[in-house]
Structures are given as C-alpha cells and as structure tokens.
Structure 1
C-alpha cells in the first residue's frame, strides 16, 4: 500500500510540473503566439512579424488576470503600456524601447457615478 501511495504521489508531482508548450498560429503575414503558465493558464499572447515581436501583447498571471498590455513595433516596445499591480495601474510610455514616463493611478475608483 505504501508503494502505491508513493507512486501515485510521484505521478501527480510530475504532472504538476509539466511544461505547457506554446502555440503558434499563422494569421496572414503574422504569427499569433500564445504562451502558458505551468497550470495551463495563458501567460502571454501576441504576434510576431518577420520573427520580431509586433503589435499588441498581453500578459497574465497564473490566475488569468491581465497584468500588462502594450505594443511592439519591429521588436521594440513603443507607446503606452499598462501594468496592473493590485489596486494600482501604471501607465508607462516607451520611446525606442526606453521608458519615457511613468504614471500611477488607482484602479478601484469608478470612472463615472450616476446620481
């Protein structure tokens, strides 16, 4: 009985640490890439063009919550990126892959209130 429990535990342990292979789908000239956390949740999703990051990329934590979104142009971070850390949303502006500015904002406050 002890050996069966040990074997079952080892089998479950190996399954928990299994790597989830990324997926790649051709969409016109671009390739949509989806990367996964070990638990099967999506970790990143975006596009490649000519083997370089291109367009919008989204990042997620292990629970599936969005933690970042931004754009790449020819493999370089560009424009406004948004990062979520708990109740704080950070807007980071990139210029040629370098941080140009950072702004923090609370995310729990309503945008509009109906009276």
Structure 2
C-alpha cells in the first residue's frame, strides 16, 4: 500500500509541474507534435515532452528536479500513460508498467544511474 501511495504521488509530479508558466512550445512539422519544455524558476528544465494536435500528452515525457536530476521518464499515447515508466527517488529506481492507463506492475530496483531504456 505504501508503494502505491508513493507511486501515485510521483505520478502527480508530472501533472503538477506542467502547470508552470515558464515554458517553450513549438510545432515539429515532421512529427506533427507540439514540443514543450518547462523550466523551474531557477532556469533548470522541469520537464520536456510532446502533445498531439488535440492537446493530449503524446510521446515521451521526462521530468527533472530543480537540480537537473531526472525524476521520471515515460510515454503517453493520446493522453494515456503507456508502456514502461521510470521514477527515481534518491538511489532507488521504480519501474512501472502501464496498460490502458492503469498500473499493471511495479518493480523497485536499487540503482544510482538516471539512465533508462524503455524499449
């Protein structure tokens, strides 16, 4: 239960951080997606990802803390979380598999690296 509560809190980091005013948006004409980069007040990147033309989160999203450390990485498909997502907290990596926007599985791994391969 504690893991689920922590995971839900980490999931909301992506949504809450998106509400910032410090952002840059541009249309990528090759992918037909709107690329977005949000910034913390200190100028560091908060998160980066893409939206489809309907305004839905679509494609890879990465979130960073105010020091530039990666805290989450995963993909959306037409507004829904899909596939493997990775959440870092201190030296712990949580791997979460999403199916139809619902958590299918959670794995915790000790790891100091902030590199993830979700393929």
Q: Same fold (TM over 0.5)?
A: yes
* Runs of 4+ off more than 6 Å: none
Find the structure with the greater CA-based Rg: 1
Partner of residue 24, structure 1:
25
Partner of residue 15, structure 2:
none
CA RMSD of aligned residues (A): 1.5
Structure 1: where are the runs of 5+ without partners? Answer: 1-18, 110-115
1:38 deviates by 1.1
**Counterparts in 2 of 1:27 and 1:80: CA distance versus 1, 3 Å:** same
Structure 2: where are the runs of 5+ without partners? Answer: 1-19, 114-119
User: Residue 69 of structure 2 is aligned with which of 65, 68, 74?
Assistant: 65
Aligned residues: 91
For 1:93 and 1:77, the matched residues in 2 are separated by 9
Flag the structure with higher strand content. 1
Report the TM-score when normalising by structure 2: 0.72
